[in-house]
Amino acid sequence: MIGRLRHLAYSAFLVVYLAIIGGACIPLMLFGRKTSRRTVQAWARLGLFFLKPIAGIGYRVEGLENIPHGGAIIAANHQSMWETLAIYALAPNPVIVLKKELQYVPVYGWWARAAGNIVVDRKGGAKALRTMIKNAKEHLDAGEQLIIFPEGTRMQPGEQSEFQPGVAGIYAAANAPCIPAAHDSGRFWRHHEKKMSPGVITLRFLPPIPAGLDRKSFLKELQTAIAKGRPDL
């Protein structure tokens, strides 16, 4: 019961906080993608800050020095909303791959588009995948860090799944390094149960996988790196 109340309180905070800050800062969208992105990063950082007093969840980060300031893929396991906030807040110049439906969420969707994030239609088949890869390459060539969750959906702590092919396609097309990221957010922010428990989430940015591997070798190395780095395994 207490875990559900923590989740409800923090979710309500995010909605109200997003509506107030997102609405008040709308004029900043006129200054372009860079300013919009910095605004979203500030929102994410404050969201992480208030997670501790509201739900008792803190975090620690290891390997932040592994994130370059130039173009790179950051590929992480996916368990809750926490990692979407945290990695976006920590990367120097982030862009994230979002499912199509999120762009229609009031305020959130406006900022997602204004900040230049990549929208993907999961039901769009091969054409949608090609479009995503093309857009991702443009962002990576511009020196941005592309955040992607190759499992494609949130998993329970201790669970693993095969990675979707999109991350390998982006890696091959962009000729950019990939930084594996591993965490245990689902131990404390249990998305499927809508519960939160006090604790400290560990996020690890692991040594980069260099560009140039073939797709099969890359996927194997990425999955192995994330599995070994996960605090919940």
**Residue 231 CB neighbours (<10 A):** 16
Between residues 45 and 152, the one the model is more confident about: 45
Cα 186 from Cα 101, distance rounded (Å) = 23
For residue 168, the model assigns a pLDDT of: 94
For residue 13, the model assigns a pLDDT of: 93
Cα 231 from Cα 215, distance rounded (Å) = 26
Element (H, E) at 220: helix 215-229
Question: Average pLDDT of the chain?
Answer: 92
CATH topology classification for 2-229: Glycerol-3-phosphate (1)-acyltransferase (3.40.1130)
Q: State the Cα angle at 195 between 190 and 201, rounded to 5°.
A: 50
For residue 165, the model assigns a pLDDT of: 85
For residue 12, the model assigns a pLDDT of: 93
Mean pLDDT within 190-216 = 95
Cα 228 from Cα 233, distance rounded (Å) = 8
For residue 97, the model assigns a pLDDT of: 84
CA gyration radius, the chain: 17
For residue 233, the model assigns a pLDDT of: 78
- pLDDT tens-digit profile of 26-43? 898 889 999 999 999 999
- pLDDT tens-digit profile of 69-93? 999 999 999 999 999 999 999 999 9
Query: From start to end of the chain, where are the E strands?
Result: 57-62, 72-76, 94-99, 118-120, 145-148, 178-183, 189-190, 195-196, 199-205
pLDDT at 6 over 90: yes
Mean pLDDT within 191-215 = 95
What are the residues facing 179 on neighbouring strands?
74
